[in-house]
Structure 1
Amino acid sequence: MSYPPGGPAAPNYGQPPRKNRAGLIITLLVALLIGVLITGGVLVVRLVSGREKPPTGRTSVVVRTPSPKLPSKTVSLPTGKPTTKPSTRPSTRPSATQQPARSPEPPGAGVTNVARRFVAQLNADNPTAATALACRSAKQVIPFLMRQYLKPPTRLTTGTTPIGQQITFVVQLSGTTKGATVSGIVVIQQLAPEPICVRAFSVSPG
């Protein structure tokens, strides 16, 4: 029996057998592939989210201030049928408070009226009513003048326009007394606050 040089080789007793490393390599490759996929997914997500975000730089901030509340106003709407629009045509019918305008009396109209009333009492030979139209200072004179100048029947008329201004006026007389033609005047006084009154009168043939 021959042995190799140096003696016979000792057997490998007690050493573990060599392990197969093919499974470890496959596991490492799978882990690396998973890491690559995860990294690529993260990059894709960042790129997509970066497009949606506004560009970096100056950032504008919009501040909205609350608008003041206006007081609410309640408007009541009319109910029922709408009323017709009133006519703007002026009414020709005078109202109760509006009285028809009176034409102003001509100057001396009150004086002429008193003179006519006085002459009417002279024609009626009524000294009492004639004295009632006389002024205070002439109430005793008028009856005396009637007895002196007039004899019934008397028919006297007055003029239409008195002569004078402000206080004393003269109204002309004409007519007959006891058949005789006479002419004369009536003196009228207009002194406030006294009413218009007769101051005197006189007649003479003519």
Structure 2
Amino acid sequence: MIESVMEHLGNALKIYSNGKHFDTMLEAKNLYFSLTGQVFEEDEDYESRMSAFNDWYLLQFVSEDGCPIWNYVSENTVEDNISKALRTIKHSIYEYQGRNLRKQHVLKDIVHNRKITLSKRAIIPSLIKNDLFIGRVIETEGEFFTLSGLCLLPGEIKNILKKEGKKVRLLNDSKKEVEFLLRVESLKTKWNRYGHLDAKSIFVFN
């Protein structure tokens, strides 16, 4: 079913990036990159950041007209299980823990403190064990997959992120979670611009 889910995501992006929705998409784009730092075509992570924006816009941005993905599933013929999968995608910070004995990729969600075993069919970018990244995981028919918009993070800030992630988890506030994740992404952008500085001196949370 993951193929159908991804097809619906692609259709939704086409609909909500054109026509009467174009201005709303531009508004969202300006907001997103003001929160996470500007992106330039020559940046190494340009494509992944644009994918991350697309995911955020479709799944989390809320305008006066509502959230694109919620509007999409209410205005189009979408099976209930696919609709649920589209509306419950988990945005978080993940640690790649390598493969298990069944050769499946394993992630640790360090914000929600849970382990996720990806589907045998899951395709992920080239990751090394202990790599950290901001990303989104989708569940469909008991299988887990990652979306393409991954933001890699420096490994030396793992303990900092675990500490801050626990604080956010205890708040049990989805809005605060999103604010935290966008803040982390903005600090990653800053670190990219000032790569000569120690990551721990940049990833500071007050």
TM-score strictly above 0.5: no
TM-score class normalised by the smaller sequence: under 0.3
Higher helix share: 2
TM-score with structure 2 length normalisation? 0.19
**RCO higher in 1 or 2 (8 Å CA, sep ≥ 6)?**
2
TM-score with structure 1 length normalisation? 0.19
Structure number with greater Rg is: 1
